[in-house]
Amino acid sequence: MSDVTLPTKPADGGVDSLLELRGIEKRFTGTYALKGIDLDFAAGEIHAIAGENGAGKSTLIKLLTGAHAKSAGTMRWRGVEVEFKAPADALALGINAVHQEVVACPHLNVAANLFLGDETCRVGFLQKRVMIREGQRILDGLGFQIRADAMLGDLTIGQQQLVATARAAHRGTRFLIFDEPTGYLTRQETLQLFRLIRSLHDEGVTIVYISHRLEEIFELADRVSVLRDGRLVSTRRIADTSEAELIRDMVARSLDEMHYKREVPRGEVLVEIEGASGPGFEDVSMTVRRGEIVGLYGLVGAGRSEFVQCLFGRHRMTAGQVRWKGQKVMIRREADAIGRGIALVPESRRDQGLCLNLGVGFNLALPIYDRLSRGGLIDRRAERAAAARQMIDLRIVAAGQRVHAETLSGGNQQKIVVGKWLAHGAELFIFDEPTVGVDVGTKADIYHVFADLLTAGAGIILISSYLPEVYDLSDRLAVFRRGRVVAEHTHKAVGVETILTEAIGV
Amino acid sequence: MSDNVATAPLPAPKSRGLRLNFLLNLTLLGLLLLLCGALALGTENFATINNLSNLLRQGSIWAIMAIGQTFVIITAGIDLSAGAVVGVASTVVGLLMVHGVPVPLAVLATIGVGMAIGWCHGFGIVRMGLPPFIMTLASLTALRGIGLLLTGGQTLSGFPAEFGAFARGELLGIPNLFVAVIAVAVPCHLVLHHTRWGRYLYAVGSNREAARLSGVSINRVIYLAYIVSAGLSALAGVLTASRIGVGVATTGDGWELQAIASSVIGGASLFGAVGSVPGPLLGAMLLTTINNGANLLNINPFWQRIITGGLIVLIVYLDQLRRPKR
């Protein structure tokens, strides 16, 4: 770490610091989550914070918003020392955060969420119509196409994120923290969000922007600070740095194979889908061979996820047929798909992929307990051996098999979801947004997992809203729009712009 | 990049979850022994053979119900009908015997009725999508009515002698009822920790969706949990009838709460995926001892309920303190 020496203060020294951190430390039961953080947030700047998972970004946010108390160090707000004991202390100064996971009430309408805790009342009665009108004015002013009287829960996650942002912005916040805000947003929603961030910036709001999408950092930020292992590695002006330099700071190793791809000979056809229709998609045909990645790209709601859900037996196909290794099959239930060797690695690891409060070994062995049982009883040794093999093969970092899955980093959790299917012997892997919310280092790990799967003779269907990813990794890329496949390209046959145009349909 | 990532997992340390569970059982056991010691010193009648075997008998019946309840709680469900099943079972077994059905057949048929009730709970929860709380609450109400209809509100008596003899009998000096607990606890422990169905119970309680996507048949797991719970409650009903020698439809009023409390005191989490067999066993014994002690100390029975309520809060709170915060 000592090989990187960089100024932590703006070079000119003349910038007004809104918030100064000096020697900030945070310990959790003896281990340091943050150590010796000296950081200045200049008034009115967009300050990006980058770092791998576990680098201390979220801990830093929690200290800034008063969710945690610091263990040592001082914080100065406009030169005056402050102490945040509770979130209310930070809110009182105008410090607010928009979190990656939306924290709101899905059963209330958008306006009610916008004004939650700050309702318009007359003699104790809610002025619902006034709030909806006012809320609509705010949303329209921001250019969001969202109705203020819609139930929040009926909106897409991306739209909910925009509502949360509007809420924070409306509160007249002076210091706004965005924690990985674009993870679930479509491209249009991302652009709307960026417009909002820029307009807040123009109004003089100081913005802290946390993301591992480096191109977003370069698009938005004035300065960027990199955290690694709980320490501040560097603070640089965005104009004076490059993606490669930041990645080096973040991982302390060169990642020349960011989108790692290994050429593997194509094998036999694993699955062949012809003219499939179902809820949300129509007339989709597709072939996946061993050793190849078929990418599915499209905007959210274009039918990609609906299609793979049918392939996995979640819903019934209404038309078309599926051939598995040349034989016509009917997939009516998940069990049919799993039995053939089709695995779905779902979009939300936490909600759909893992039993979080159970052990790593348990999660890895879950699909194969029928095989691990002898005479009705589980062979504990075989169970441990099966899990241990996946932990070694996939380089899952955990202090043991009994450690709960929730304590692992996002990347390691993703590896568990893959590992349990490897143990099961799946041959076709469907990855639904596998790299949402994981950092660069872990992303590279996941790409290596793809390569290992292909080498082992598996086929992969990859769904991603992140175009550079599907573009670089896919051997073939199917573009979805409004439930249909509108184009199919072989590896990098056309440019990214073409694909985006096809997906949007302009 | 492999140099950057630990290549092999560290040797597995004893899990925190297991250790906590073990510790909790130790504390519970300690608390139980402490209470027994205090009562033995403080009252004349506690440490008599008569009282102790009486205590074991009552505790046994709650323990059996609590073990069944734990199966359901592990799946993040709840079985409010347990006490009502006890009432129905004690009337059904009584009616069968009064009408001349041989005792073993009557007992098996009653447990079968209990399992059928459990199946209905599973059906309501899985097929009709009712929340477990509502399904078993409705069942609790209806079953009480069925029990009263079956007997016309009368008390059934005049059971064969061998039926009553079971609950009073002993095996090698241990009350038969406690032997029944062991006969229930051992297979239940095996199912929970050494079979895939046990694993699936935890998986469903931890994350239904993940379990389903892993190929676990969630429906069957839920049926299993409720059938075990209601089946064991029916067994508890049979044992109660044997113990008190009469069949009354209102038997077991409020016992579902004793069962839930025993399970939770024994470390089970109502959020699912946490629970064991020894836990509810000790929990049930602790609750019984408290009741017994309060009786011996001549504490107003109204106060007993208040004390029990307070203790449940205290014990579960202490357990919360011990768990690492997220």
The partner residue sitting opposite A352, judged by closest CB among B10, B210, B326, is B210
- Tell me whether residues B12 and A369 touch, CB distance under 8 A: no
- Tell me whether residues A402 and B190 touch, CB distance under 8 A: no
Sign of the dihedral defined by the CA atoms of residues B307, B311, B312, B313, in that order: positive
- Tell me whether residues B210 and A354 touch, CB distance under 8 A: yes
By the 10 Å C-beta count (0-12 exposed, 13-18 middle, 19+ buried), B274 is classed as buried
Confidence at residue B13, expressed as pLDDT on a 0 to 100 scale: 40
Strands A459-463 and A484-490: unpaired
- Copy the structure tokens of residue A272: 């062949």
Among residues 211-240 of chain A, which lie with CB inside 8 Å of chain B?
A: none
- Tell me whether residues B1 and A445 touch, CB distance under 8 A: yes
Question: How does pLDDT run across B97-108, given as a tens digit for each residue?
Answer: 999 899 999 999
3-state secondary structure of B249: coil
3-state secondary structure of A459: strand
Q: Is B63:B316 a contact under the CB 8 Å cutoff? A: no
Q: Is A485:A499 a contact under the CB 8 Å cutoff? A: no
By the 10 Å C-beta count (0-12 exposed, 13-18 middle, 19+ buried), B250 is classed as middle
List the one residue out of A227, A175, A218, A172 whose CA is nearest residue A194.
A218
Quick one: closest CA in A to B271, which residue? A357
Residue A402 contacts B where some CB pair is shorter than 8 Å: yes
CA A305 to chain B, closest CA, distance in angstroms equals: 15
The partner residue sitting opposite B195, judged by closest CB among A354, A376, A445, is A376
Confidence at residue B281, expressed as pLDDT on a 0 to 100 scale: 93
Residue B100 lies in a domain: yes
Asked if residue A261 has pLDDT above 80, the reply is no
Q: In order of start, what are the domains of chain A with their CATH numbers? A: 1-94+173-182+205-254 (3.40.50.300), 255-341+428-439+458-506 (3.40.50.300), 350-426 (no CATH)
What is the rounded distance in angstroms from the CA atom of residue A16 to the CA atom of residue A19?
A: 9
Asked if residue B133 has pLDDT above 90, the reply is yes
CA B114 to chain A, closest CA, distance in angstroms equals: 24
Question: How does pLDDT run across A297-355, given as a tens digit for each residue?
Answer: 887 678 888 899 888 888 888 888 899 988 888 888 888 888 888 988 887 777 788 88
- Tell me whether residues B9 and A396 touch, CB distance under 8 A: yes
Instruction: Give the CA dihedral B287, B289, B290, B293, nearest 10 degrees.
Output: 160
- Tell me whether residues B213 and A378 touch, CB distance under 8 A: no
Confidence at residue A313, expressed as pLDDT on a 0 to 100 scale: 87
Q: Is A16:A9 a contact under the CB 8 Å cutoff? A: no
Contacts 24+ apart (CB under 8 A), B212-215: B212/A334, B213/A334, B213/A344, B213/A346, B213/A352, B213/A353, B214/A338, B214/A366, B214/A367, B214/A420, B215/A334, B215/A335, B215/A338, B215/A339, B215/A367, B215/A424
Confidence at residue A191, expressed as pLDDT on a 0 to 100 scale: 85
Q: Who contacts A393 (Cβ-Cβ below 8 Å, separation ≥6)?
A: A419, A422, A452
Quick one: closest CA in A to B12, which residue? A400
- Tell me whether residues A388 and B195 touch, CB distance under 8 A: no
- Tell me whether residues B7 and A395 touch, CB distance under 8 A: yes
The total number of residues written for chain A in this structure: 506
Q: Who contacts B93 (Cβ-Cβ below 8 Å, separation ≥6)?
A: B106, B107, B109, B110, B237, B238, B241, B247
Question: How does pLDDT run across A147-162, given as a tens digit for each residue?
Answer: 888 888 888 777 888 8
The partner residue sitting opposite A420, judged by closest CB among B7, B11, B214, is B214
Mean pLDDT lowest for which of A298-302, A415-419, B138-142, B159-163? A298-302
What is the rounded distance in angstroms from the CA atom of residue B5 to the CA atom of residue B8?
A: 9
**Confidence class for position B112, pLDDT limits 50, 70, 90:** very high
Residue B202 lies in a domain: yes
Question: How does pLDDT run across B233-272, given as a tens digit for each residue?
Answer: 999 999 999 998 888 888 988 899 889 999 988 888 888 8
Confidence at residue A47, expressed as pLDDT on a 0 to 100 scale: 94
Confidence at residue B8, expressed as pLDDT on a 0 to 100 scale: 36
**Strongest mean pLDDT among A43-52, A170-179, A244-253:** A43-52
Q: Is A353:B213 a contact under the CB 8 Å cutoff? A: yes
- Tell me whether residues A351 and B209 touch, CB distance under 8 A: yes
**Overall pTM surpassing 0.80 (yes/no):** no
CA A421 to chain B, closest CA, distance in angstroms equals: 8
By the 10 Å C-beta count (0-12 exposed, 13-18 middle, 19+ buried), B195 is classed as middle
Please, what is the Cα angle at A364 between A361 and A365, to 5 degrees? 85
Number of domains in chain B: 1
CA B194 to chain A, closest CA, distance in angstroms equals: 5
What is the rounded distance in angstroms from the CA atom of residue A209 to the CA atom of residue B188?
A: 53
List the one residue out of A196, A116, A203, A202 whose CA is nearest residue A161.
A196
Alpha helices in A94-203 (DSSP H): 110-114, 128-142, 157-170, 187-202
The whole domain housing B93 covers 48-322
Residue A104 contacts B where some CB pair is shorter than 8 Å: no
- The domain that holds B311 is classified in CATH as 1.10.3470
Q: 């969202």: which residue's tokens?
A: A146
Q: 């899955």: which residue's tokens?
A: A405
Confidence at residue B227, expressed as pLDDT on a 0 to 100 scale: 97
> DSSP code of A109?
B
The number of CA neighbours under 13 Å toward the Cβ of A174 is: 12
**Confidence class for position B67, pLDDT limits 50, 70, 90:** very high
List of chain A residues whose C-beta atoms are within 8 Å of the C-beta of residue B214:
338, 366-367, 420
Question: How does pLDDT run across B158-209, given as a tens digit for each residue?
Answer: 888 889 888 888 888 788 899 999 999 999 999 998 888 898 999 999 888 8
Residue B32 lies in a domain: no
Residue B248 lies in a domain: yes
The end-to-end CA distance of chain A, in Å, is: 48
Percent of all residues in chain A with a pLDDT value above 90, rounded to a whole number:
12
- Tell me whether residues B207 and A404 touch, CB distance under 8 A: no
The rounded mean pLDDT for chain A is 82
Residue B18 lies in a domain: no
Q: Which of B206, B270, B326 to substitute to test the interface with A, most A CBs within 10 Å?
A: B206
Question: How does pLDDT run across B258-314, given as a tens digit for each residue?
Answer: 899 999 888 888 888 888 899 999 999 998 998 888 888 888 888 888 887 887 788
Asked if residue A7 has pLDDT above 70, the reply is no
Q: Which residues is A478 bridged to in the sheet?
A: A296, A488
CA B186 to chain A, closest CA, distance in angstroms equals: 14
Quick one: closest CA in A to B216, which residue? A367
Quick one: closest CA in A to B5, which residue? A395
Residue B30 lies in a domain: no
The strand order across the sheet containing A281-289 reads A281-289, A269-278, A319-324, A327-329
Q: What number of C-beta contacts closer than 8 Å exist between A and B?
A: 119
Confidence at residue A103, expressed as pLDDT on a 0 to 100 scale: 67
- Tell me whether residues A401 and B12 touch, CB distance under 8 A: yes
Confidence at residue A2, expressed as pLDDT on a 0 to 100 scale: 41
Residue B143 lies in a domain: yes
- Tell me whether residues A253 and B194 touch, CB distance under 8 A: no
Among residues 358-387 of chain A, which lie with CB inside 8 Å of chain B?
A: 358-359, 361-362, 365-367, 369-370, 372-373, 376-378, 380, 384
Q: Which residues is A225 bridged to in the sheet?
A: A49, A235
Confidence at residue B228, expressed as pLDDT on a 0 to 100 scale: 96
Q: Is B99:B251 a contact under the CB 8 Å cutoff? A: no
Element (H, E) at A270: strand A269-278
Q: Is A418:A441 a contact under the CB 8 Å cutoff? A: no
Residue B69 lies in a domain: yes
- Tell me whether residues A352 and B5 touch, CB distance under 8 A: no
The partner residue sitting opposite B215, judged by closest CB among A367, A384, A404, is A367
Over residues A463-478, the mean pLDDT reads 84
- Tell me whether residues B206 and A377 touch, CB distance under 8 A: no
- Tell me whether residues A402 and B4 touch, CB distance under 8 A: no
Residue B325 contacts A where some CB pair is shorter than 8 Å: no
Confidence at residue B4, expressed as pLDDT on a 0 to 100 scale: 37
List of chain B residues whose C-beta atoms are within 8 Å of the C-beta of residue A341:
none
- Copy the structure tokens of residue A460: 């992969």
- Copy the structure tokens of residue B276: 């064991």
What is the rounded distance in angstroms from the CA atom of residue B213 to the CA atom of residue B221?
A: 14
Q: Which one has a higher pLDDT value, B210 or B225?
A: B225
